Amino acid sequence: MKKTYLRQSFDTGIIFGIVHIFCVLIAFNAMLGSLLAKIVNVTSSLTSPAVGALIAYAVILGLWAGIASALRQRELSDGKRLLASLVTGSSSGLLAAVLVGIFQLMLILNINPRDYLTNLSLPFMQACLYSLPGLLGILANFFTFLISAFVGGLLVVGWNLHGFASIRHQINNAPKNWIAKLRSGSAKKQLIQKYVFYALLFVLIAILPLEWGSYWNYVIGTVGLYVIMGLGLNIIVGLSGQLVLGYIAFFAIGAYTMALLNAPIPHNLMWGFWPALVLAILLAALAGFLLGLPLMRLRGDYLAIVTLGFGEIIRILLNSDLLTSFSGGPRGVQGIHGPTIFGQVFSDVNYMYLIILAVALAMYVYNRLQHSRTGRAWLAIREDETVARATGVNTNKYKLLALVIGAGFAGLAGAISAAMNQFIGPGDQSLMASINVLCEIIVGGMGNIPGTLLGAFALKGLPELLREVENFRMLAFGALLVAMMILRPEGLIPSQRPTLELPEETPPATSSTLTDAAKIKPPEENPHD
């Protein structure tokens, strides 16, 4: 039997209510509330959050529930959609009221919540009741969700009114109009705009590292290293379509090459930064070549499992006591010497400039490869390897080349990272590091440079800005990936290259064009021909 719209709205509210209960029990609402409180410069913490911050969190969740319920009932009238949002708000608010009712009972009976959940505390439960006595705190939770969901429904209904149609149209078309305006004009004008943009970008890049300070230079430098690794993995996964899960192993090879050749312990070779950097890239690429030779016939999950095993083998070997005399074992390698300028050791600003140059080089190489014959071969393999082989593409050769070049990118990032941190250890080569790089290109968008940049800033830059979510990083990663697979399966900035290569569709013939064609008389035959 088909559910009525009220039953569907009630179920939607139950789902949001369950999500709210889960967030409260792990203190996720306090974390988000403390972030909101920090924006307005209000003191708040996980154990004793500000009441206003928790109300703001509940309002956001209630608005989301109301918007989701109203959008789900697109075929109904505006009145019924508002009623649906009210039902959603009431059901989610009912669950929220039951939860804080239990908190109120525990406060009355003086039951310590830490005996059951370590994230709960007496001040936290009091804040969840909005510091109101008795039944008022329970009712306040219920009406917060009810009113917020109704407002969310009003936003959906109001946004679809005829009066907002022109405003919505202008907002949706603003980026397209802006881009079209930039592209309009003569070729000389576009060339001048291009050079002006590059000049401004160069000045910005030259000034910002001097103003950021040591901490932010380190953070942005780390993001830059992840951009390099993301571009390398994008060549393997995004262009050639090979799912590799042990990518961090190539980063480890580059980092340990720099460490062993440029640290006093354990070998005291002291080759210098630049020879070690070149050798790190070459050895990482060689490792990709040797790994790829027996794997060219594998696809999909099988290739992912084998490369995952390769990454774990490298990590276990580096962490074993057996290789302590060679690679430092679990202690890692310390005191790694970096590059020098006229005898002066690199500062954080110098490392920032070095990473910027490395990112620019990686982007240039990636862009040239993507738009070359090799890049077209990779795209053909990614779309359908069997068809690519049938059309004459040497799939084994190009897949191996992608793995070698991608591994070289990782070796470059690893060598610079080891020199910048002056330390490298096996703990930095975990599976989670490979997953981070893979998440970077999935979230940002596979097969393009802007997506890699956005993914690196989202997954490495934001956690530094929002350190209070560190305990919820895995939860945030999982939720973000689930949301991306549902809402934006091609990433935040999907690649436009396959779309641009599609042939332009010929407009279908209309009745008027057919009539005009019928009016055209064929030329009369010449009897002398």
- Per-residue burial over 17-46, b if 16 or more Cβ lie within 10 Å, else e, is bebbeebbebbbbbbbbbbbbeeeeeebbb
Q: Which of 113-122, 157-166, 335-344, 504-513 has the highest mean pLDDT?
A: 335-344
Residue 148: per-residue pLDDT: 93
Residue 261: per-residue pLDDT: 93
Q: How confident is the model at residue 516 (pLDDT cuts 50, 70, 90)?
A: very low
Encoded amino acid at 330, one letter: P
Residue 472: per-residue pLDDT: 63
Residue 343: per-residue pLDDT: 74
Does the structure show a pLDDT above 80 at 368? yes
Q: How confident is the model at residue 428 (pLDDT cuts 50, 70, 90)?
A: confident
More confident residue, 517 or 25: 25
Q: Which of 5-9, 181-185, 368-372 has the highest mean pLDDT?
A: 368-372
| Mean pLDDT score, 196-225 | 86
Q: 154-163, 230-239, 329-338: which has the minimum mean pLDDT?
A: 154-163
Of the candidates 73, 65, 98, 88, which has an alpha carbon nearest to the alpha carbon of residue 10? 88
Q: 49-53, 121-125, 150-154, 157-161: which has the minimum mean pLDDT?
A: 157-161
Tokens of 134: 């008795």
| Mean pLDDT score, 137-161 | 87
Does the structure show a pLDDT above 80 at 506? no
On average, the pLDDT of the chain sits at 82
More confident residue, 278 or 192: 278
Residue 511: per-residue pLDDT: 45
Q: How confident is the model at residue 63 (pLDDT cuts 50, 70, 90)?
A: very high
Residue-wise pLDDT for 308-359, tens only, equals 999 999 989 888 888 888 888 888 898 898 888 777 888 888 899 999 999 9
Residues 6+ apart with CB under 8 A from 414: 250, 251, 252, 253, 254, 255, 256, 257, 258, 280, 284
| Mean pLDDT score, 77-99 | 90
Does the structure show a pLDDT above 50 at 515? no
Q: How far is 165 from 65, CA to CA, in rounded Å?
A: 24
Residue-wise pLDDT for 241-261, tens only, equals 888 888 999 999 999 999 999
Residue 197: per-residue pLDDT: 80
| Mean pLDDT score, 375-386 | 90
Q: Which of 272-286, 426-440, 494-508 has the highest mean pLDDT?
A: 272-286
Does the structure show a pLDDT above 70 at 526? no
Q: How confident is the model at residue 416 (pLDDT cuts 50, 70, 90)?
A: very high
Q: How far is 480 from 476, CA to CA, in rounded Å?
A: 6
Of the candidates 210, 292, 223, 279, which has an alpha carbon nearest to the alpha carbon of residue 459? 223
Q: How confident is the model at residue 56 (pLDDT cuts 50, 70, 90)?
A: confident
pTM tops 0.85, yes or no: no
User: From the DSSP assignment, how many helices (H) and strands (E) are in the chain?
Assistant: 23, 4
Residue-wise pLDDT for 5-42, tens only, equals 888 889 989 999 998 998 888 877 777 776 666 666 66
Q: How far is 222 from 141, CA to CA, in rounded Å?
A: 42
